[in-house]
Amino acid sequence: MTTLEVLNAAASYLEKRGVESARLNAEHLLAHVLGMPRRIELYLQFERPLSEVERAPLRDLVKRRGEGVPLQHLLGEVEFCGRLFICDERALIPRPETELLVELVLKESGAAASILDVATGSGVIGLSLALSRPDVAVTLCDISPEALSLANVNALRHGIADKVTRKESDLFDCVEGIFDVIVSNPPYIPTSDISTLSREVKNDPVLALDGGADGLRIVERLVKDALGRISPGGLLAMEIGHDQASRVVEILKTHNFRDIVVHRDYQDVERFVFSRHG
């Protein structure tokens, strides 16, 4: 079979099993199996015959993708803010909209000297900020030792392991110091909604998804406890659920945060809430 025939067969298999963007998924998987750094290279080799040795690993990957294993887990990495990060079941798969959170923090952080990424997961938020602002001291914390180990792998991959502090901590419990910026993409999905999530999202750790009965249990703790860890005038930046903006604003007001701004994501959803302390 030629590259094109194999690609078409893989895409058809995935489409029949309800995989969104089946053709794109098939292209990524085939390029991965063939060791191509860019899937566009497939288009230059459509007529190339593929041996059984080359096709065998693709069959396994396509089968697993059809069963709902996320594409990012099969590829072992994900692109975030123009950089590749290791991605596996230890932490939440970074979403494209979270890239905007990083962009907004870079824009709003000004002359900040220190940044804390709470519930860091794979570390992509804090590490992206550290790579963009090498003059800033960045700390990553997460309650999950597995997630923190993945963040460490990513820090090593990008050569900044000795420049970024990692702490295993339930929010701020084991974190020391005061920070100019606190950024977080905390768990914010209501417990009752977990069972309704897509099969791909269900591969993320429940710990990274479950925000309690109303989805705001972690957010409320985060805002309250941030008061003792953020500098006067410091920035608190959070990613939240699609219908939580008004309630999060009220929580922030209750704890005397000011200059509260709600930012929309690329889909025009109220996704990020920024505020200042003091």
Give residue-wise pLDDT tens across range 237-258: 999 999 999 999 999 999 999 9
Tally of domains in the chain: 2
Q: Which residue has the tokens 């994501």?
A: 265
206 burial via Cβ count (<10 Å: 0-12, 13-18, 19+): exposed
Q: What is the mean pLDDT of residues 80-89?
A: 97
Nearest-angstrom CA–CA distance, 221 and 204:
22
The tokens describing 94, both together, are 């970074």
126-157 per-position pLDDT tens digit: 999 999 999 999 999 999 999 999 999 999 99
**45 lies in the same domain as 117:** no
At 262 the pLDDT is 98
At 238 the pLDDT is 98
Residue 171 Cα distances to 185, 219, 230, angstroms: 12, 10, 13
For residue 166, the domain's CATH number is 3.40.50.150
At 3 the pLDDT is 93
Q: What is the mean pLDDT of residues 57-76?
A: 97
* Beta-carbon contacts of residue 44 (< 8 Å; ≥ 6 apart): none
**How would you list the strands of the sheet with 137-142, edge to edge?**
164-168, 137-142, 114-118, 179-184, 230-239, 270-277, 257-264
**62 lies in the same domain as 97:** no
Closest CA to 278 of 177, 161, 178: 178
**124 lies in the same domain as 37:** no
41-54 per-position pLDDT tens digit: 898 889 999 999 99
Q: Which residue has the tokens 């750790």?
A: 205
Nearest-angstrom CA–CA distance, 161 and 142:
16
Full domain range(s) for residue 14? 3-67
Q: What is the mean pLDDT of residues 171-190?
A: 98
**39 lies in the same domain as 175:** no
When pLDDT is cut at 50, 70 and 90, the band that residue 189 belongs to is: very high
* Beta-carbon contacts of residue 56 (< 8 Å; ≥ 6 apart): none
Q: Is residue 84 part of a domain?
A: no
**156 lies in the same domain as 242:** yes
pTM: 0.94
211-223 per-position pLDDT tens digit: 999 999 999 999 9
At 278 the pLDDT is 80
Q: Is residue 79 part of a domain?
A: no
At 212 the pLDDT is 97
Q: Is residue 77 part of a domain?
A: no
Q: In what helix (H) or strand (E) does residue 261 lie, and over which residues does it extend?
A: strand 257-264
Strand (E) positions, 83-194? 83-86, 114-118, 137-142, 164-168, 179-184
At 43 the pLDDT is 86
When pLDDT is cut at 50, 70 and 90, the band that residue 38 belongs to is: confident
pLDDT, averaged across the chain: 96
**105 lies in the same domain as 230:** yes
| H and E: helices and strands count for the chain | 9, 9
pLDDT at 40 over 90: no
**251 lies in the same domain as 133:** yes
Number of Cβ within a 10 Å radius of residue 109: 20
**107 lies in the same domain as 165:** yes
When pLDDT is cut at 50, 70 and 90, the band that residue 196 belongs to is: very high
Q: What is the mean pLDDT of residues 5-32?
A: 96
At 44 the pLDDT is 86
Nearest-angstrom CA–CA distance, 248 and 50:
54
Q: What is the mean pLDDT of residues 2-15?
A: 96
At 37 the pLDDT is 83
Q: What is the mean pLDDT of residues 66-78?
A: 97
The phi, psi pair for 276, rounded to 5°, reads -120, 150
Contact 141, 118 (CB under 8 A): yes
Amino acid sitting at position 82 = G
